[in-house]
A and B are shown apart, each in its own frame.
Chain A
Amino acid sequence: MTRSAEAAVPRFRPGDRVRVRAAHPPGHVRTPYYCRGRVGVIERLCGAFPNPEELAYNRSGVPAQPLYRVRFRAIELWPDYREDPDDLVEIEIYQHWLEAAEPA
C-alpha cells in the first residue's frame, strides 16, 4: 500500500452501498462490463494503488486510487440468474468508478 502523499482519500467504508458508474471510457479499464451500473456493498478497503488506466499508457498512475472489494448479489448482476439467490460475486473496483448508492 502506498504511503506517499499522492494517494486519494478513501471515501467509502465497509458496509456502504455503492453503485458502479455506468461509464464506457476508451482505453485500458479494469472494471468489468458486467458490474457497471450495478449496486453492491463495500466488503473491505484493500489499500491504494496506482491507477491501471494510466499505467497502461506509461503514465505514473498517481495519485493512487483506493481499491475496494465490492460484494454483489449474483441476482443483482444477472437478472436471469438461475442458481441460488444468495450467491455472491466479489469484485475489486477502484474508487473513481464508485458512487454512493441510495439506501436499500
Chain B
Amino acid sequence: MGVRMQGGASSDSRGYYRRMQAAVEELLILKGVVTAAEVDRQIEAMESRGFERGARMVARAWVDPAYKGRMLADGSAAAEELGLAVGPLRLIVVENTPEVHNVIVCTLCSCYPRMLLGIPPEWYKSRAYRSRVVREPRAVLAEFGMDLPAGVKIRVHDSTADMRYLVLPMRPAGTDGWSEERLAGLVTRDALIGVARVGEVVQAPPAR
C-alpha cells in the first residue's frame, strides 16, 4: 500500500495535518479514486525533478540573445522550445541586471515552478521567508549570505495567482567561450529563486 503514516507529536498541528493527509489518501485509495501506484509514481516524478531544466534555460539565454528575448516575453513557450514539457505552467522570467535584483516568493502558500524546478526548499515554504522577504528583502538576502551592492534596487515578485516565476541571473565574468552545458553547471537553484547570485569565475593564473 502506498499510505505513508508520518510520525509527529499528537498535539502539534503539523502532526495533525500529516494524519489528515494520510487519512484522505487512504480513503481515496479505498474508494478507487486513485491507486497507491499512481500516488507513488507522482511522488517519484516530483522528487526526481531537480532544477536542471531551469539551469538549461538560463544557459541558453546567456549564449543566445534572441532566445533570451523570447524567454522574457513568454517563459512557457521558451521552455517548450528547449523540449521541456511544462504543461499548464505559466512562466514569467525576470532578468537580473546591474541595476535590479529580483527575488521570488509566494506569501500565501508555496507556489513555485515545480514543473521546471521540482520541489521547493523547506525555507521557501516557511512563514519566516514568506512574511519577511516582502517586508525586508535585503535583510533576508543578507541571511542567505548575499550582500547587494549599493544602488541595486530590489523587485520582489509575489506569486499569488496563476503565474510562476524564474529569475534569470546575470552571467558571471570569466565565462567567455564556455559551452552551454558548462554554463548550466554554474547555475544554482537558489540563484533561480533570487536568494543567491551565480558566482564569479576566478581565472586560473596563466601557465608559465
Contact = CB atoms under 8 A, between A and B. Distances in A.
19 contacts: A30-B108, A32-B107, A34-B107, A52-B161, A69-B92, A69-B163, A78-B135, A81-B135, A83-B137, A84-B138, A84-B153, A86-B153, A87-B153, A88-B155, A88-B156, A89-B155, A89-B157, A90-B157, A93-B161
B181 to A, nearest CB: 32
Interface of A: 30-32, 34, 46-47, 49, 52, 67, 69, 74, 77-78, 81-84, 86-94
Given A32-B108, A88-B154, A88-B156, A46 B137 contact: no
Contacts of B154: 74, 83-84, 87-88
A88 B137 CA distance: 10
Interface residues of B, number: 21
Given A87-B154, A87-B155, A30 B136 contact: no
A32 B155 CA distance: 17
B159 interface: yes
Contacts of B135: 78, 81
A29 to B, nearest CB: 9
A44 B1 CA distance: 47
A95 to B, nearest CB: 11
B162 interface: yes
A98 to B, nearest CB: 13
B162 to A, nearest CB: 5
